[in-house]
A and B are shown apart, each in its own frame.
Chain A
Amino acid sequence: MATLELRNVNKSYGSGLADTLKNIELSIDSGEFLILVGPSGCGKSTLMNCIAGLESISGGAILVDGADISGMSPKDRDIAMVFQSYALYPTMNVRDNIAFGLKMRKMAPAAIDEEVARVAKLLQIEHLLQRKPGQLSGGQQQRVAMGRALARRPKIYLFDEPLSNLDAKLRVEMRTEIKLMHQRLKTTTVYVTHDQIEAMTLGDKVAVMKDGIIQQFGTPQQIYNDPANLFVASFIGSPPMNFIPVRLQRRDGQCWAVLSSSLGVAGQARCELPLGELEAGMDNRDLILGIRPEQIQLAADDGAEAPSICAEVEVTEPTGPDTLVFVNLNQTKVCCRLAPDMTPQVGSTLSLRFEPSRVLLFDAQSGERLLAKKRQATDNKVAQLKRG
């Protein structure tokens, strides 16, 4: 049980090298589960090692329960880490692997036995205690690695891609188990993953990193619904968000994005999405419209007010829980996620509807999100409604 706060943390591996971590600002409450996601090489492991004390930081401060620990040695920080490669001691059996950290801390033998038994029961590895790591399957090794971290009852757990070496089925099982474990133990946790389902399902908070910079830090819902920039929007979500280059028109005191499909039928092959009031000067810039596949629906026949467009179906991919349909809008392939019973023929024409309030707008050059003045207000209202 501890809070963790990173203040302006910088890390450079050498004077000649570029900074690996740049001005990292994060803070999580006691018992919270923080997910770190980002592409390979963006500095996730480096950040974990800095928190654990295995690497020194070049600037800033790391605070646990409000006290700066950045000068402490790893063993005094009371932080446990689970490594991607598990890093089990190969010559020791499972029991000794779990007990090693306790012995190092001079715990009494009876207390060690008790603690090992508790952890083994928790992780259901009681029958493996006498085995060497080499005699365990990947999933069992993973459990032992977690057991070693759990045994010390540290203030903070760090998990560095703990499930990435497991096969898909086991990964899903362990994901649920980790979630259960965290709900039970309520220990502050930082968890690195590549897997965005893990990111969305496990975390209380998510930090998206790129090139050593935190791109966005928020709840999974904020990251998903309200990405700060193109990178975050493209990184989270599967299938990924559609990005459609658009031109803007200014009319009736607000901006409109123009979409057109390759169909010849005029009128229906074109639609205008109202985007609210944007800053002046936006009209001439290259803009990108972002919309998630599940936010494109079939237009209802009831003549609803949402703008719709006709487009030709190019490819369909029935995935089971839903059907992915690809159409072409503004010369860009666009994925729509439809109900599984919808299986339109390739080449047929669909009438698609966009919910203007869910459409995001990005600056093509900087990748930054552009917020309409009016829309910000409605977003806040939506957020309030959700909370209430």
Chain B
Amino acid sequence: MNDASVAQRRSAADLLPSGDGGAKRRMRAISPSRLAIHATLLFAAALYLVPLVVMLLTSIKTPEDIRTGNLLSWPETFTLIGWVKAWSVVDGYFWNSVKIAIPAVLISTAVGALNGYVLSMWRFRGSQLFFGLLLFGCFLPFQTVLLPASFTLGKLGLANTTAGLVLVHVVYGIAFTTLFFRNYYVTVPDALVRAARLDGAGFFTIFGRILLPMSVPIIMVCLIWQFTQIWNDFLFGVVFASGDAQPITVALNNLVNTSTGAKEYNVDMAAAMIAGLPTLLVYIVAGKYFLRGLTAGAVKG
């Protein structure tokens, strides 16, 4: 049968035995090798968490605290002044990023889904070549598209606008989203589309009623991937936006790199964390789909 139902059955089966067997397994699990594995994992987790801890601690210290203590010392006085100041600096830019990321993510995901649907279910003459060229887009470094993109935006009258930046992100992202959806849909049996055609469904009905409802995992993958890429983008932001239209990554860079006055590390750290929070949130909300979606093609039924 189809992958979705297989996955459903498999996950249901996974749930059942862990109910009573889990405790027993934990009891006899304490062997030296298992201990070593856990120790290694804990160490690795700690190593990755240290920068975050440093940032968090620094962001709630006073500038004096930062100067007198070390990176990991506990703050003498706990203060949110860094966060307040940081927010007052990046406030507008944060919303710029939202205004860029949300439309760009939604449009590139939608176009990718449609592309993937056509490339896997309605193959046309030359569709393989088309897909190959599109794949090529995944390997293009950002730098190579800067000049052509800026030329095109100028011609379109979109230079230095949020819409222009959205367009650049959409075009650049379509290669990835198409790849995701196409690889997901090639695992869907052709017979499903054939059955729907015999049932009288047309191109968009088949897409909307049959394929999209099966696509939740890969939609999540696309949303996470695209949001992370676009929210964290610096290069397109610094090149294609100026002044008040800049995204938060550019604003953060400007804040950290100002050479006037004393360095306020607490503000820098708080601003960096504000810039990073939305991607963190997206992972927490949709992350469980991420691995499932990425490996969906691998567990062919």
Chain A interface (Cβ < 8 Å from any Cβ of B): 49, 52, 54, 74-75, 79-81, 83-92, 100-101, 104-105, 132-135, 141, 148, 152
The count of chain B contact residues (Cβ–Cβ below 8 Å) is: 23
Set A84, A101, A134: member contacting B4, Cβ < 8 A? A134
B210 touches A89 (CB 8 A): yes
Residues on A with beta carbons closer than 8 Å to the beta carbon of B214: 90-91
A81 touches B200 (CB 8 A): no
Report the separation of the CA atoms of residues A90 and B212 in the bound assembly, to the nearest whole angstrom: 11
The residues in B between 188 and 204 inclusive whose CB is less than 8 angstroms from any CB of A are 189, 191-192, 194-201
Report the separation of the CA atoms of residues A79 and B195 in the bound assembly, to the nearest whole angstrom: 11
Residues on B with beta carbons closer than 8 Å to the beta carbon of A90: 1-2, 4-5, 214
Q: What's the minimum C-beta distance from B221 to chain A, rounded to whole angstroms?
A: 18
B194 touches A100 (CB 8 A): no
Residues on B with beta carbons closer than 8 Å to the beta carbon of A104: 199-201, 205
Chain A CB within 8 A of B8 CB: yes
Report the separation of the CA atoms of residues A87 and B196 in the bound assembly, to the nearest whole angstrom: 9
Chain B interface (Cβ < 8 Å from any Cβ of A): 1-2, 4-6, 8-9, 189, 191-192, 194-201, 205, 209-210, 213-214
A74 touches B6 (CB 8 A): no
Q: What's the minimum C-beta distance from A180 to chain B, rounded to whole angstroms?
A: 24
A87 touches B189 (CB 8 A): yes
Q: Secondary structure at chain B's binding surface: helix, strand, loop or mixed?
A: helix
Q: What's the minimum C-beta distance from A15 to chain B, rounded to whole angstroms?
A: 11
Set B8, B194, B209: member contacting A54, Cβ < 8 A? B194
B200 touches A75 (CB 8 A): yes
Set B6, B189, B192, B194: member contacting A49, Cβ < 8 A? B194
A83-B191, A141-B1 as given contacts; A89 in contact with B196, CB under 8 Å? yes
A-B contact pairs, 27 of them (CB 8 A): A52-B198, A54-B197, A74-B197, A75-B197, A75-B200, A79-B198, A80-B198, A81-B194, A83-B191, A83-B194, A85-B1, A85-B191, A86-B191, A87-B194, A88-B2, A89-B209, A90-B1, A91-B210, A100-B199, A100-B201, A104-B201, A104-B205, A105-B200, A132-B5, A134-B1, A134-B4, A134-B6
A133 touches B1 (CB 8 A): yes
Q: What's the minimum C-beta distance from B301 to chain A, rounded to whole angstroms?
A: 10
A87 touches B5 (CB 8 A): no
Residues on A with beta carbons closer than 8 Å to the beta carbon of B210: 89, 91
Q: What's the minimum C-beta distance from A87 to chain B, rounded to whole angstroms?
A: 4
Residues on A with beta carbons closer than 8 Å to the beta carbon of B192: 87, 89
Set B1, B5, B195: member contacting A81, Cβ < 8 A? B195
Smallest CB-CB A-B distances: 4 pairs: A134-B5, A101-B199, A104-B200, A87-B191
A75 touches B8 (CB 8 A): no
Residues on B with beta carbons closer than 8 Å to the beta carbon of A133: 1-2, 5
Report the separation of the CA atoms of residues A90 and B205 in the bound assembly, to the nearest whole angstrom: 15
A87 touches B4 (CB 8 A): no
Known: A75-B199, A134-B1; 13 extra A-B contacts, CB below 8 A, are A49-B194, A54-B194, A75-B201, A83-B191, A87-B189, A87-B192, A88-B2, A89-B196, A90-B1, A92-B213, A100-B201, A133-B5, A134-B6
A85-B189, A89-B192, A91-B213 as given contacts; A74 in contact with B198, CB under 8 Å? yes
Residues on A with beta carbons closer than 8 Å to the beta carbon of B194: 49, 52, 54, 81, 83, 87
Residues on B with beta carbons closer than 8 Å to the beta carbon of A100: 196, 199, 201, 209
Residues on B with beta carbons closer than 8 Å to the beta carbon of A84: 191
Report the separation of the CA atoms of residues A152 and B201 in the bound assembly, to the nearest whole angstrom: 14
Report the separation of the CA atoms of residues A87 and B213 in the bound assembly, to the nearest whole angstrom: 15
Most buried by B among A75, A83, A89, A135: A89
Residues on B with beta carbons closer than 8 Å to the beta carbon of A141: 1
Q: What's the minimum C-beta distance from A152 to chain B, rounded to whole angstroms?
A: 8
> In this complex, what residue of B is CB-closest to A52?
B198
Residues on B with beta carbons closer than 8 Å to the beta carbon of A85: 1, 189, 191
Residues on A with beta carbons closer than 8 Å to the beta carbon of B213: 91-92
Report the separation of the CA atoms of residues A105 and B201 in the bound assembly, to the nearest whole angstrom: 9
Residues on B with beta carbons closer than 8 Å to the beta carbon of A92: 213
A54-B194, A87-B191, A87-B195 as given contacts; A101 in contact with B5, CB under 8 Å? no
> In this complex, what residue of A is CB-closest to B210?
A89
> In this complex, what residue of B is CB-closest to A138?
B1
Residues on A with beta carbons closer than 8 Å to the beta carbon of B198: 52, 54, 74-75, 79-81, 101
Report the separation of the CA atoms of residues A91 and B1 in the bound assembly, to the nearest whole angstrom: 13
B200 touches A101 (CB 8 A): yes
Q: What's the minimum C-beta distance from A70 to chain B, rounded to whole angstroms?
A: 16
